Every structure is written in structure tokens, then in C-alpha cells.
């Protein structure tokens, strides 16, 4: 609705505090246990260090608040998981400079929006999910022979769990460098537009 759009615009305006901001929405997890990225903290720390205008907005359900742990004292990381509705998150996603996350409804909702998107694929391939998405970097597992498996998982019966992280092998094998580089590319284009 127009009211939701205005609320999202106001949120981004408040992030800016009178300065340009590279606003990144990070959707923390999807609907199945294999849709969470274990190297998120590493990527975000490097983004904040390398991109002074970056602000990261976390979205997800209440369970995703666990994934927000450790970012409580960083003024450039905004923890919204479990505090907003999915409609608010989807409206806000449309106002972001970049949207990042695993295969989630949030990423699907902006598939044909112009902003850059970085999606860490798990059960899907580029061919059957992101092939026609606009301005999207789809990252796939390197070294996960099971990916893409083309199935949703609700337990580890048919999914390869990485014992070190407790997450799916298809997510672990997407390196932090791959994700960082994709965000950095979007940031570079954003910076060009600012000058």
C-alpha cells in the first residue's frame, strides 16, 4: 500500500541522516534449514570496513534474532528480525540499494526490481530460479556434489550438514569472498552514480 511504501521511504531516509547511504537488506534465512548462510558475519564485517557508506538491515522471523547476535553494538547494522511484518520487509526491500540472502521470499519479491541482488542458491539452480531475474548475482556451491538438489529440507535426512557450522554443505561452500565481491560490485556501481 502507499502507507507501507511511505513507511519504507521514511526508514531509508532515517538511515541516511543527511548523507548518502548504500543500504543493504540481508534476509537472514529462508523457510527450510538449508537456507541460512554461515559466513554472514565475515562478509558483513568486511563490507562495513571496505564500504564506509554501507548500512546493513537484517530481516527475518523471530528465530532469525539468533543470527543477529554479535551485532548489537554496531550502529551501522540494524536488527529488524521478528520486529516487523513480512509486508514491511517486502516494502523496505524495494527501497534498498542492494538485497542479499539465500533463496527466500524477500529475494523473490524483488526479482524484477532494478536494485542489485546477491542470492546464495541452495536447492535451486540459476536455470530454474534466477535466470530471468534483473541485476542478480546468483552464487552456487563450489564443492557440494549434492547441489542443486531441487528439494526442500526440513531435517538432515537428505541434506548434507557441515559438522563445523551446523549448516548445509551447499551454503558453507559459497565462500565469503564470493559474496563480498558480489556486494562490492554493486557498491562500485552505486558509488559511480553518487559522483
| Predicted confidence (pLDDT) per residue in 77-135, tens digit | 999 999 999 999 999 999 999 999 999 999 999 999 999 999 999 888 899 999 999 99
Torsion of CA 8, 11, 15, 18, to 10 degrees: 100
Looking at 80-175, list the stretches that DSSP marks H as alpha helix, in order from N- to C-terminal side.
86-93, 105-109, 169-172
d(CA 2, CA 4): 5
**23-61 residue pLDDT tens:** 999 999 877 767 889 999 999 999 999 999 999 999 999
Phi/psi of residue 44, nearest 5 degrees: -65, -40
pTM: 0.95
d(CA 47, CA 41): 10
Lookup: cell for 1: 500500500
E strand spans, the chain: 22-27, 54-59, 77-79, 98-102, 117-120, 136-139, 161-162, 167-168
Amino acid at each position: 500500500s502507499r502507507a507501507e511504501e511511505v513507511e519504507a521511504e521514511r526508514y531509508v531516509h532515517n538511515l541516511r541522516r543527511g548523507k548518502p547511504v548504500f543500504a543493504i537488506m540481508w534476509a537472514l534465512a529462508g523457510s527450510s534449514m538449508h537456507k541460512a548462510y554461515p559466513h554472514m558475519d565475515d562478509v558483513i564485517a568486511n563490507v562495513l570496513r571496505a564500504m564506509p557508506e554501507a548500512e546493513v538491515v537484517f530481516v527475518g522471523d523471530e528465530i532469525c534474532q539468533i543470527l543477529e547476535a554479535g551485532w548489537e553494538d554496531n550502529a551501522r547494522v540494524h536488527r529488524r528480525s521478528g520486529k516487523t511484518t513480512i509486508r514491511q520487509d517486502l516494502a523496505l526491500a524495494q527501497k534498498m540499494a542492494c538485497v542479499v540472502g539465500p533463496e527466500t521470499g524477500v529475494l523473490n519479491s524483488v526479482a524484477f526490481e532494478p536494485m542489485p541482488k546477491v542470492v546464495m542458491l541452495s536447492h535451486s539452480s540459476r536455470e530454474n530460479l534466477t535466470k530471468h531475474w534483473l541485476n542478480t548475482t546468483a552464487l552456487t556451491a563450489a564443492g557440494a556434489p549434492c547441489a542443486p538438489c531441487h528439494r526442500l529440507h526440513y531435517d538432515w535426512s537428505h541434506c548434507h550438514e557441515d559438522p563445523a557450522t551446523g549448516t548445509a554443505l551447499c551454503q558453507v561452500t559459497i565462500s565469503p569472498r564470493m559474496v563480498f565481491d558480489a556486494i562490492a560490485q554493486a557498491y562500485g556501481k552505486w558509488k559511480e552514480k553518487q559522483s
